[in-house]
Structure 1
């Protein structure tokens, strides 16, 4: 009996050493995030913090770029293997002859909020009131600019009846509000909570929930996601599958843990000296995340509708939506994450 136990111990040690060796010799995978501290992209850093990449035997380096378009360019150049950004980039790039596919959907909705400054809130009650106003977006040609124009169009206001001003995100967005350079603007958490806390702006259109997004856009709008070049995924199916499994596990963790528990796992510089605000922003954002990384059935068409209306690269083009995403790399079922 003792010899059997000894054999079992030796075998388990050997297995652990083999797993450690495999991880040590794994090819480094670099993932670029279009603004890592944004809560819409939370699963990227959280997966690293939870150790799920290492559990899969992967050597992953998570880096951050302030804008999604910069991360996209790094992917196309082959400088990084994957990007965490908005799903709509896969549609935009297909129209330009690039084959990119989302393999994990983080957010089934944009997580974006159209905020109206307190000064303008007396006259702006809905998007139908934005005529003659200046609306802040992260950048011209960005996802926020297309969404802004689409929201206005659905309210009967054409793009030539208001001005869009690129003001970036986070602190630069807040500065634009405080300085009165914009009347409204589209941003995400935790910026939304910061502006609500100071009283500088109010929520006009809330796309942090499925209900709010369907009311605003007519369907779910898959946004934050993990995407790669299709050729890379096909040539590195094992790595793509392991990455998808790690992210799926994180999404399940988010679904089964409180905002306080999730915040505990994040680096301190993500919430600074105001952890309570960060927790509050997390609570407001958690409904946006998928539980397993799968693409919502009505999502791709809703995104295409928005881009076809205002993105000159996509308008009038045939887009094969089936090539913009894949659920094939995800696990058949995600085991419940342990607390």
Structure 2
């Protein structure tokens, strides 16, 4: 079921503001599961980095666990997080790094299934700007696309800048979403480069709109760019809700881990064939290639890599004023309890 959740601009701004308040009220357990019905917000349902969510539904694994899961979609992870904080949904499939950011703002959220141990993100540069944008050292003065301000693409872009001696206030992040909106911004020159994922990356390269500058779709690429494994795509939920709905969380985890194992034993073409036809906007062959390029980012067991959280903390603290001097209890940002039982 692909049901977009739309918020008015005013409502979205109000909800987003909640995430900036320390220890604010926001419904940590306001959204309750009834009769096995769960709402999960995904930071872009058709993005390959979040593919396990829709694939689990397509394979019928949620139903096998007796769950009725509705997958909703928002174009950026920061908007998905807003839906969780406001109590509209029980969980988010988005980047793990938001759990650290939220803890610093007084919200206790944890990853219960770690879908990926690399970002799956790619920094691309437009064909026109390729001559003077050859590395993050050239970010100064550029307009760089991100899915949304405060999103994980925004976080990672800022880290790459700081790591390469470029102040975060010397370039302009532009919220351009993903897919067609990102492609148009690149083509029209409103951005010179940007951070995006497959299948958008595959279409950029295929249409010769630009090229890959930094590839973080593999653990190796993550280590090279970020200095270690960077756990990204995950199912994260409010800790209070997890503790009071352990049976439901275990069922969700069982289904998602079963999908991760299925993915590890099937070809990109077989995976693509299970997905909705409209996800392959660049054609079936290109979509399968996008899945192939991104597959290395996924875990096979849903368990958080032991040294992953420390990498994420180091990356975020390098540029994020909310986290720079904050004490983050990493053990409270994730749990391996459910994934280990799922085996």
TM-score when scaled to structure 1?
A: 0.88
1:296 aligned residue (288, 302, 305): 305
Name the larger-Rg structure. 1
Q: How many angstroms apart in 1 are the aligned matches of 2:111 and 2:150?
A: 20
Q: How many angstroms apart in 2 are the aligned matches of 1:180 and 1:105?
A: 36
State the partner residue of 1:194: 203
Give the paired residue count: 310
1:69 correspondence with 2:70: no
Q: How many angstroms apart in 2 are the aligned matches of 1:144 and 1:86?
A: 10
State the partner residue of 1:32: 41
2:226 aligned residue (210, 214, 217): 217
1:104 aligned residue (113, 124, 133): 113
State the partner residue of 2:7: none
1:121 correspondence with 2:130: yes
Q: How many angstroms apart in 1 are the aligned matches of 2:248 and 2:311?
A: 30
> Contact 2:36/2:66 (CA < 8 Å) preserved in 1?
no
1:233 correspondence with 2:281: no
More displaced 10-residue stretch of structure 1: 114-123 or 210-219:
114-123
1:138 aligned residue (139, 142, 147): 147
More displaced 10-residue stretch of structure 1: 29-38 or 189-198:
29-38
State the partner residue of 2:260: 251
1:251 deviation in Å? 0.6
Q: How many angstroms apart in 2 are the aligned matches of 1:75 and 1:218?
A: 30
**Structure 1 alignment gaps of length 5 or more:** 1-24, 335-339
Q: How many angstroms apart in 1 are the aligned matches of 2:106 and 2:278?
A: 39
> Contact 1:245/1:331 (CA < 8 Å) preserved in 2?
no
Once superposed, what is the RMSD of the aligned Cα atoms?
1.4
1:323 correspondence with 2:326: no
Q: How many angstroms apart in 2 are the aligned matches of 1:124 and 1:83?
A: 34
Please give the secondary structure, in 1, of the residue aligned with 2:251. Answer: helix
**Structure 2 alignment gaps of length 5 or more:** 1-33
> Contact 1:141/1:311 (CA < 8 Å) preserved in 2?
no
Q: How many angstroms apart in 2 are the aligned matches of 1:27 and 1:252?
A: 24
